[in-house]
Amino acid sequence: MRAEATQRVALVFSLLDANHSGVLEAEDFTLMADRVVAAAPEAAAPAKDRLRGAFAQYWTTLRTTLDTNGDGEIDFEEYAACVLSPERFDATVTEFAEALAALGDPDGDGLIDRQDFLALMTAIGFAPVNTEALFEAFGPTTADQLPVPVWVEGIKDFYAPEKTDIPGDQLVGGVTV
Q: Is residue 93 part of a domain?
A: yes
Q: Is residue 172 part of a domain?
A: no
The pLDDT score that the predictor gives to residue 88 is 74
Q: Is residue 169 part of a domain?
A: no
Report the C-alpha gap between 96 and 101 in whole angstroms: 9
Domain extent, residue 68, equals: 3-162
End-to-end CA distance of the chain: 27
Opening angle at CA 11, ends 8 and 17, nearest 5: 140
Q: Is residue 173 part of a domain?
A: no
Q: Is residue 109 part of a domain?
A: yes
**pTM metric for this prediction:** 0.90
Q: Which of 79, 164, 155 is nearest to 121 (CA)?
A: 155
Burial class (CB in 10 A: 0-12, 13-18, 19+), 80: middle
The pLDDT score that the predictor gives to residue 22 is 96
Residue-by-residue DSSP string for the chain: --HHHHHHHHHHHHHH-TT-SSSB-HHHHHHHHHHHHHT-TTS-HHHHHHHHHHHHHHHHHHHHHH-TT-SS-B-HHHHHGGGG-GGGGHHHHHHHHHHHHHHT-TT-SSEEEHHHHHHHHHHHTB-HHHHHHHHHHT---TTSEEEHHHHHHHHHHHT-TT--S-GGGGGTT-B--
Question: Can you give the CATH number for the domain in which 119 is found?
Answer: 1.10.238.10
Indicate the length of the chain as a whole number. Answer: 177
Q: Is residue 131 part of a domain?
A: yes
- Per-residue CA distances from 28 to 20, 53, 165 (Å): 8, 14, 29
Low-confidence ranges of the chain (pLDDT < 70): 1-2, 4-5, 83-86, 173-177
Opening angle at CA 89, ends 173 and 170, nearest 5: 20
Report the C-alpha gap between 95 and 57 in whole angstroms: 9
Q: Is residue 29 part of a domain?
A: yes
Number of domains in the chain: 1
Q: Is residue 177 part of a domain?
A: no
